[in-house]
Amino acid sequence: MTLPLPIYLDNAATTPVDPRVVDAMVPWLGEHFGNPASRSHAWGWEAEKAVESARRQVAALIGADAREIVWTSGATESDNLAITGAALCHQDKGRHLVTVRTEHKAVLDTMAALQAQGFDVTLLDVQPDGLLDPGALAAALRPDTVLASVMAVNNEIGVIQDLATLGAICRERGVLFHVDAAQATGKLPIDVRTLPVDLMSLTAHKTHGPKGIGALYVRRQPRVRLQALIHGGGHEQGLRSGTLATHQIVGMGEAFGIAAAEMARDTAHAQALHQRLLAGLQGLGDVRLNGHATRRVPHNLNLAFGGVSGEDLMLAAPGLAVSSGSACSSGSQQPSHVLRALGLSDECAHASLRISLGRFSTEADIDRAIGALRDGVTRLRASPPVFSAK
């Protein structure tokens, strides 16, 4: 007998594809199969037209020029292209890079790989609320600093960094500023016309689009230059060669177009569910919200339940699809590097669960989650607690 699927509250790992996005993609998997690089016939022309339309949709969500959007396979590739591409292209200026301890592994591991090649990497600490002190960034920049990378919205705790202030510091010092915005699109208004951001990593599947497609914003004024990492054909202005996946690109464009139109409604919906969940868990006691209480997206709640292991709680509430950290690190038995960077003990980090909301989360989902979590925590606390979440 097949067990029913659990309630999905792991949207920070991936979001369900909006049915409107699926409908937009399907024709490009069937009758419209042309290669957008085929310039000699109508099959290629129509595919190229669809790709460029999607490019404009993605650009519009962040206030960019369509010519500043480079297609990639997702935010991980975009992070790699932005950081490594900038480091290699500008190493005549210097070989120093700056990032934050709470970054996604796609940034941290890229930095580590460059460090192994002789680059100098500074990892900045965050404050206990997960936010980076702009003064710490300013103090870390040196004459040989090439690039600083700070994510817009943290994937584990949902806090929002002050991109305007951080970017202004970098701009004043002549340092390229890269932002991983995978968790921000559709949740925060972004306008690169006013934000001093030089490079921005984007992905579709965190914004109700398909997996396997993303983009990198590369500023044209002032011009940002990168060294390509993938060669063979000179696609995407020579920055990312390879046949474009038209159906996925169309899907990302449609997803970002919907996000632009419905962001206010989606955010209000997430805020209401966020408050409903916290209110329903109030009576449990010894529950901690990790990360800044208000400078965060409402879609993400990282909660520590005193006296309870997050892994045990997931087992005690099998009807919920949640996580104990980043999906990219979910196989690790080590406590979250993000929560440790906030100063939490190993025990408290292990006690934490990430509950993340999306467009299709409902009040009924939240009410069932409250019941399952209350029941699970109560049963697990029946034994004497060995630590506190406070």
Of 89, 170, 328, 348, catalytic: 328
Locate 119 and state its tokens.
């680059």
Instruction: Write down the pLDDT at residue 384.
Output: 56
Report the C-alpha dihedral over residues 108, 12, 130, 164, rounded to 10 degrees. 80
Instruction: Write down the pLDDT at residue 3.
Output: 67
CA–centroid distance for 128 within its chain:
21
Locate 102 and state its tokens.
């709470």
Per-10-residue mean pLDDT, the chain, length 390? 83 98 97 93 94 98 98 98 98 97 98 98 98 98 98 98 98 98 98 98 98 98 96 93 97 98 98 97 91 97 90 91 66 80 87 95 97 94 62
13 in Cβ contact with 323 (< 8 Å): yes
pLDDT tens by residue, 295-325: 999 999 999 998 888 889 999 999 999 998 6
- What backbone phi and psi angles, to 5 degrees, belong to 170? -65, -45
Question: Which class is domain 7-15+263-380?
Answer: alpha beta
Decide: residue 338, CB within 10 A, 0-12 exposed, 13-18 middle, 19+ buried. Answer: buried
Domain 19-258 in the same topology as domain 7-15+263-380: no
47 in Cβ contact with 35 (< 8 Å): yes
- Is 328 a catalytic site residue? yes
Fold of 19-258: Aspartate Aminotransferase; domain 2 (3.40.640)
User: Residue ranges of the domains in the chain?
Assistant: 7-15+263-380, 19-258
Strand partners, 234: none
